[in-house]
Structure 1
């Protein structure tokens, strides 16, 4: 038998927004999850690219963060950033 050591096992009501939009360079299909778990930040899931990041306003100002987290070019990240600035 495999003994598991849980660090936590919580259930929580969340609010999820599903949004899809087409920018100049690509289509974005996102799920944006609001939760109490992330200290005011939101969980942003890229449904096409199978990537996610916990993002707050401070992260959007950090140079190269979206490019790294979602494996985007500079132009693609700029489009995503302009949307997320209005949303987060």
Structure 2
């Protein structure tokens, strides 16, 4: 198979910023994350759980939606709450300008 056999819908390269962070929460849940800041995803950051390989494009307002973090990362309620609390500090609120 050759590269010309594929029908590309998109193919681009960009400079990104990645923060790798490992921490133990107050409830003794361990998180190993990669948080990627990019020009894609309309201001959201790509959050990757390095343990499970699960990822989501998230912004601060996603943290306010009940069950989003638990669903994206397949976490129990306590761990999802603690991860949400951490991500609230990292993602910050998005402020759009006119």
Q: Answer with 1 or 2: which has the greater Rg.
A: 2
Cα drift, residue 58 of structure 1:
1.4
1:60 aligns with 2:63: yes
Structure 2: distance between partners of 1:9 and 1:87: 29
Q: In 1, distance between residues paired with 2:10 and 2:49?
A: 25
1:74 to 77, 80, 89: 77
Indicate the SS of the match to 1:69: helix
1:32 aligned onto 2:16: no
Q: Deviations over 1:12-40 (max 9, x none)?
A: 00000000110114100000000001110
TM-score normalized with structure 1 length: 0.95
Paired residues, what number?
88
**Are 2:87 and 1:84 equivalent residues in the alignment?**
yes
Structure 2 gap segments, 5+ residues each: 92-98
On the 8 A contact 1:15/1:33 being kept in 2, the answer is yes
CA RMSD of aligned residues (A): 1.1
Give ranges in structure 1 of 5+ residues lacking alignment. none
**Deviant stretches of 4+, over 3 Å:** none
TM-score using structure 2 length: 0.86
